[in-house]
Amino acid sequence: MMRTVKRISVALGSLATMTLLSNATYVATQNVSANSLSGNSRVTFTGNTDPASSLKLTRVSSFDFGSSELRSGTNTMTVLGDYSISVEDTRGGDQGYQVQAKASQMKTASAAVPGQSSSLTLPISSFKLTIGNGNTNSIGGSILGSQNSEIYTVANTIATGDANSNGLNSTGLVSAAVDFANTGVKALEYSGTIDYTLLDVKA
């Protein structure tokens, strides 16, 4: 509460007047001190029941392997993702959740291959993700990552939110490792997609 104080100038008429004002000031001060009380505050939250907003992925990771020189035998590419994975859970319970990922084939743009109408596919044998554990939140919850989860053309769980991962939480660093053979690989750019799915599954 804001208190506004006005200052009023008063000319002293006598010593008695001055004494009266002084006593009044003292009494007012004493009353304020004697009447200090404490109130209470309380709020009750209910969980968000809207399936479209109560549990959602807010950020996922992409991977740019840059330029790589072809070598004999099996080639391996590794890179850190651009972001960690973030999930916002406003359901208010202890259900937890899982994050799954699935990587598509990596292909060339069809126009990049002279004389061919279809694109070329990179002969990938493995596409694995490693997810670091996230920081612990104020109630001890976090998102736990997985190590070397195979996601090439198959959906696998890569991270799990525990029973206390309420609110907005993130994983640690995300990295990818891709193995592929050099057979039939041309010096072109190959690209693909990674589908991330958030599952309302008890941890």
Averaged confidence pLDDT in the chain: 84
pLDDT band at 14 (very low <50, low <70, confident <90, very high): very low
Residues 159-200: tens digit of each pLDDT: 999 999 999 999 999 999 999 998 889 999 999 999 999 999
174 strand-pairing partners: 131
CATH of 55-199, one of 1.10.3470, 2.40.160, 2.60.40, 2.60.120: 2.60.40
CB-based contact 80:65 (threshold 8 Å):
no
Closest by CA position to 106, among listed 151, 145, 146, 69: 151
Which band of pLDDT confidence, cut at 50, 70 and 90, is reported for residue 203? low
Q: Each residue of 35-79: pLDDT tens digit?
A: 888 878 777 777 788 877 899 999 999 999 999 888 888 899 999
pLDDT level of residue 4 (50, 70, 90 thresholds) = very low
Q: Which helix (H) or strand (E) holds 126?
A: strand 124-131
What's the Cα-to-Cα distance from 98 to each of 74, 85, 89, 156, 161, rounded to whole Å? 32, 12, 12, 10, 6
Q: What are phi and psi of 15, to 5 degrees?
A: -65, -35
User: Whole-prediction pTM value?
Assistant: 0.77
Q: Which residues contact 178 (CB under 8 A, 6 or more apart)?
A: 65, 76, 77, 78, 124, 126, 127, 128
b/e map 50-79, b = 16+ CB within 10 Å: eeeebbeeeebbebeeeeeeeeeeebeeee
Q: Which residue has the higher pLDDT, 33 or 82?
A: 82
Closest CA to 109 of 195, 193, 192, 194: 192
Please tell me which residue, 20 or 48, carries the higher pLDDT value.
Answer: 48
